[in-house]
Each structure stands twice: as C-alpha cells, then as structure tokens.
Amino acid sequence: MPEETKVFLETPAIPISGKKQANSFSASSDSPRTSSPTLGEHYSYDTIEEISNYLLSRTHIRPKIGIICGSGLGHLGETLSDATYFPYEDIPHFPLSTVVGHAGRMVLGTLNGVEVMVMQGRFHFYEGYPLTKCSMPVRVMKVCGCTHLITTNAAGGLHDSYQIGDIMIVKDHINIMGFAGNNPLQGPNDPRFGPRFPPMNRAYDPELIKIAENLANDMGIKDETHTGVYICLGGPSYETVSELRMWRMLGVDAVGMSTVHEVITARHCDLKVFAFSLITNKCITDYDSNGEANHAEVISAGAKRQDVLATFVTRMVEKINEML
Ligand SMILES: O=P(O)(O)O[C@H]1O[C@H](CO)[C@@H](O)[C@H]1O
C-alpha cells in the first residue's frame, strides 16, 4: 500500500460537533475570557488540531505549502489536481467568507505534482472577525504539516511607478493595526505554536524574495514586478488623499486590508513566508482627481491577471518544493 494511502487510512476520523461559530465572538470554553474588544474567541491548540484532523482525515494530500488567495485571485484553487474542496461552512470552527471575490473554500490537492493547501478566500478584520480569527487558518496549515506560506493580496499601488496589473513582491510590512494595540498574537501564548515575543525582521524570507525576482525575470515580467513595502489598514473604507500621502512619506508602496496578521501568525509558528500583491488600482493621491477606489475594479484587475499569477505561484511552489 502506498505510504500516503496508509497515512490517510490511519488518520483517526475526529467526531465533528457540527457547531457553527461564524460571526460568533464569544470566548470558547477552553479559553480564558478577556475584556479586549479585539481579541474575541481564542482558538486553543486542541481546536486547531481538531480542524486539521478534519481536513487530513478526508484526503490523502499531505501539504507542505499553504497558499492564501487574495481578492479576485482564487482561480488558482481551480487549477489543482487530485483536489478535495472544503467549503468553510463545513469545516468545524471556521468563520465564513463574506467578501465578493473570496469563494470561501479550502482546497487540498496538487499543483504540478506538489501537495498544497489553498484558501480560496480569507478573513478580514472589517468583516467583524478579530485578527486571531482572521489568521487562525495559518495555524491550521502549520498543524497540517506546512512549512511554507505563500500569501497573496489585491492592493492599491501607492508607489508612483506601479501600474494596474503589476506584481509587488512584499519585502516588509508596516503593522499599523499593531501600533494601535491590535495584533493577532494578543492574548494567552501557547508555546506549542511559538514564542511570546517573536521577531519580525526578515519576516518575508529573503531567499524566497530572490527566487521570486529571478522567476519574474525568467517569465518575462521583470518590468511589471517590483519589491516593496505593504501596509494593512483596518478597512473597509478606502483611504483619504491625506492618509495615502502620509503612508507614502513613511515608505509604503502598496496599501491593503489583509496579509500582515497572517504573516505575523505564520512567523510566530515558524512558517517561511513569501507574499506578493497584485496592484489592482492606483491609489488616488491627488485632491483634484475624480476617480474613486472601488472593489469592482479590484476584482476585475485580478481576473485579467489570473493566468500570469497562477503560473507565478505554481512556479514558486515548484521552487520551494525543490528546497524541502
Ligand atoms: O487583501 P485582499 O483580501 O486581497 O483584498 C483587498 O481587496 C479588498 C478591497 O477592495 C480588501 O479586502 C483588500 O484587503
């Protein structure tokens, strides 16, 4: 019997309570209550294991790479072979995706022969989910056996030279929500995930950044690919002209409402991280402009670039797989 099949058969099926907790902010019974309005429900290690076992007991895929698809970028999940699809509403303890362009499914399958797990849709703070909940699936990836996270997003291009459809490889972020006391690692720390005070320099793996830059060159998209700094704002309102000018002054190249909490959670549990933004709109930094940021434009820019992005991610997955 192939080793993979054996693992599948030997993985105990975990009884599922069937309880839905989407949009529920009450503390779970295995967590201490806190008075923080941003902390909400705490996911214990046991709960994360329960979710992971639910997924692994229903597929023979044993992923080493987790992928999060940003707004309008979920098409990648359709390109997997040997795929099992898990709608979020069927996964115990999972929130629901509420944003257009986020299908709300976890997919376990292979990308060019490499076993991966892909989130078609992520969770955002502005949906009403605390950051611990938004980034909980990253811990599920870790417990499922992943060693690497590729996280993608749609973002507004703030750097003058960025055009719609460009890719920005993320080299660093500004955790402005953390400045305001909102961090996904807030609350009790379980050392089985990671240390109380994880470092965040080199959060975006320098070797993976180099590999991605070379890959962009090989793919002939070097001129449309940049390496820059991402900021996650709380949303859902887009930014004012003054806010954008301020971020630009502070060294921000692309603006979004996601990713940073996922990366913090991933580094906390020692996943290697690669992230990129698709520039879906140019940030409006001119008071006289009649343009307005809108989500339809974001989705449509994603749809136009879905094939290039799928190739970019698939080839990154192959490169990472060679390093495993
Ligand atoms: O970051 P992703 O999920 O790609 O989506 C981006 O697009 C939406 C705004 O149009 C926001 O959710 C922003 O974060």
Q: Pick the catalytic residue from 71, 97, 175, 277.
A: 71
Q: Pick the catalytic residue from 42, 124, 226, 261.
A: 124
Counting other chains too, the contacts that 295-299 makes at CB distance below 8 Å and 24 or more residues apart are 295/71, 295/100, 295/101, 298/71, 298/72, 298/101, 298/154, 299/71, 299/72, 299/100, 299/101, 299/154
Rounded Cα gap, residues 257 and 154, in angstroms: 9
pTM: 0.90
* Eight-class DSSP state of 250: T
- Atom in ligand 1 nearest the alpha carbon of residue 154: 4
- The structural domains of the chain, with segments of one domain joined by +, span 51-323
Instruction: Tell me the two tokens of residue 104.
Output: 């709300």
* Eight-class DSSP state of 197: S
- Atom in ligand 1 nearest the alpha carbon of residue 293: 10
For 86-129, write each residue's pLDDT tens digit: 999 999 999 999 998 888 999 999 999 999 999 999 999 999 99
Q: What is the mean pLDDT of the chain?
A: 90
pLDDT in the model for residue 26: 34
Q: Are 205 and 272 in contact (CB under 8 A)?
A: yes
For 208-250, write each residue's pLDDT tens digit: 999 999 999 999 999 999 999 999 999 999 999 999 999 999 9
pLDDT at 18 over 50: no
pLDDT at 267 over 50: yes
Q: Which residues are annotated as a binding site?
A: 71, 102, 122-124, 154, 239, 258, 281
User: Out of 23-27, 122-126, 266-270, 277-281, which region has the weakest mean confidence (pLDDT)?
Assistant: 23-27
Closest by CA to 39, choosing from 261, 268, 267, 263, is 261
pLDDT in the model for residue 180: 92
Closest by CA to 177, choosing from 294, 258, 271, 68, is 258
CA 257–ligand 1 middle distance (angstroms): 5
pLDDT band at 40 (very low <50, low <70, confident <90, very high): low
Q: Nearest C-alpha to atom 6 of ligand 1 is from which residue?
A: 154
CA 46–ligand 1 middle distance (angstroms): 30
Fold adopted by 51-323: Rossmann fold (3.40.50)
Q: What share of the chain has pLDDT > 70, as a percent?
A: 87
For 73-83, write each residue's pLDDT tens digit: 999 999 999 99
Q: SS3 helix, strand, coil % of the chain, rounded to 5?
A: 35, 20, 45
Burial of 237 (0-12, 13-18, 19+ CB in 10 A): exposed
pLDDT in the model for residue 39: 67
Rounded Cα gap, residues 96 and 248, in angstroms: 33
CA 280–ligand 1 middle distance (angstroms): 10
Residues 6+ apart with CB under 8 A from 163: 157, 224, 279, 282
pLDDT in the model for residue 38: 63
Q: Are 252 and 231 in contact (CB under 8 A)?
A: yes
Degrees to nearest 5, angle at CA 90 with 48 and 22:
70
Rounded Cα gap, residues 256 and 132, in angstroms: 18
Q: Any catalytic annotation for residue 71?
A: yes
- Residue 1 CB coordination number (10 Å): 7
- Residue 264 CB coordination number (10 Å): 23
Between residues 72 and 228, which one has the greater pLDDT? 228
pLDDT at 281 over 60: yes
- Span 246-255, mean pLDDT? 98
Residue type, 276: F
- Residue 87 CB coordination number (10 Å): 14
pLDDT in the model for residue 102: 83
CA 256–ligand 1 middle distance (angstroms): 6
Pocket lined around ligand 1, Cβ cut-off 6 Å: 70-71, 99, 122, 124, 153-154, 235, 256-258, 295, 298
- Atom in ligand 1 nearest the alpha carbon of residue 126: 12
Q: Which residues are annotated as a binding site for phosphate?
A: 71, 102, 122-124, 154, 258
Mutate to test the pocket of ligand 1, among 102, 124, 300 (most ligand atoms within 8 A of CB): 124
Between residues 21 and 38, which one has the greater pLDDT? 38
Q: Which residues are annotated as a binding site for a purine D-ribonucleoside?
A: 239, 281
Residue type, 172: D
Q: Any catalytic annotation for residue 126?
A: yes
Q: Are strands 254-256 and 148-157 parallel, antiparallel or unpaired?
A: antiparallel
Q: Are 69 and 120 in contact (CB under 8 A)?
A: yes
pLDDT band at 15 (very low <50, low <70, confident <90, very high): very low
Is the previous residue joined to 236 through a cis bond, with omega within 30 degrees of 0? yes
